[in-house]
Structure 1
Amino acid sequence: MSLKRIIIAGAIGTTFMTLYSYWASKKEREQFLEPALLNELAEDAEVLPEAVDEETNPAGWAGHYGQGVVFVAAYYYLYRNALQKPSVAKGIFAGAVSGIIGIAIWEAMFRMSKNPPKTERYRYYRQLFIAHLIFSTFAIYGYRLPDVVKQLR
């Protein structure tokens, strides 16, 4: 397993997912930014310091990007073929599975929270599912990026 490739792919996928979430947030006039929502959820945890600003607090960003790396590591173990020979179809399939898992995780976090973020969940989950399609497609291609860079040299 190439940890470097997994980190690169996770960062690329998460970045494009986050760009989509920013766009969807503005379009829908809702809070769909995963790092900000993570920071709001973290406020319930007594062991963590209070967030000064939900959108810029590094804890939410670290959690968001860290989860992206975890998803790519799961892809590595479950979908090695998709990473070795990426395609849009494989990205969409992995994204659909990831989207369903992501929605389940977010729903669990919202339910466990004493004071969950105020967001319209159906609309959030719809955008989250699409965001995971984007994440996985860019992550799968991002996994191959070191090979592309090596060929260009």
Structure 2
Amino acid sequence: MEWIQIIIAGLSGTILMTLFSHICGAVFNEEFSEPTLLNRMMRNSRMFSSEITDNDSRGWIIHFGIGQLMGFWLWFMFCYSGLGQAPVIGSLLGFLAGMAGVLGWLFLFNTHSNPPETDLKGYIVQLVIAHTIFGWSVYLLFQHWNPCWVQL
């Protein structure tokens, strides 16, 4: 049952983060959706089919897959880091994950031969906030469920 809780927490955090990105994109009339930007990166690349649409499943699978990896990382930090188990710690770890995400996206945008158009500075700011929301929400669920069953 604990694995399911970790997966649900990762999915929930990714959903909230993605919803925040969609709202920010709508408010600022920019494309901030991570799956859409991933799909556009692939579509504009010679390595992938030009038939990849903005809503292609590949961008969503990559985005949610990374969210699950981050969820497992947060579970490890929640249970074994000694940092504490308050949601504010999750927010701080989410912020750090956001900084790592920023580095990854900057790498993608700067090395891609034809990156998708978006307000990169605005995207980076909302990305850090979105990851902070991710970390907070995952930690909140972990605090509720306390899925620390494995002894390392």
Q: TM-score range by the shorter chain?
A: 0.7 to 0.9
Corresponding residue of 2:72: 73
Corresponding residue of 1:132: 131
Q: RMSD of the alignment, in Å?
A: 2.5
CA contact (8 A) 1:51 1:57 kept: no
Corresponding residue of 1:6: 6
CA contact (8 A) 2:75 2:142 kept: no
Number of aligned residues: 146
C-alpha distance in 1 between matches for 2:144 and 2:16: 15
Deviation at 1:86, TM superposition (A): 3.9
Deviation string, structure 1 residues 45-82 (Cα, Å, up to 9, x no partner): 4443334421x211111111101001112223344258
Cα pair distance change 1:44/1:133, threshold 3 Å: same
TM-score, reference length from structure 2? 0.83
Aligned runs of 1:27-106 on 2, under 5 Å? 27-54=27-54, 56-81=55-80, 86-106=85-105
C-alpha distance in 2 between matches for 1:44 and 1:30: 18
Cα pair distance change 1:4/1:49, threshold 3 Å: farther
TM-score, reference length from structure 1? 0.83
Which contiguous aligned blocks of 4+ residues in structure 1 show a shift greater than 6 angstroms? none
Identity of aligned residues (%): 29
Q: Which runs of 5+ in 2 are unaligned?
A: 147-152
Q: Which runs of 5+ in 1 are unaligned?
A: 148-153
Deviation at 1:91, TM superposition (A): 1.9
Deviation string, structure 1 residues 100-146 (Cα, Å, up to 9, x no partner): 10100111111221111111111100000100011111122234565
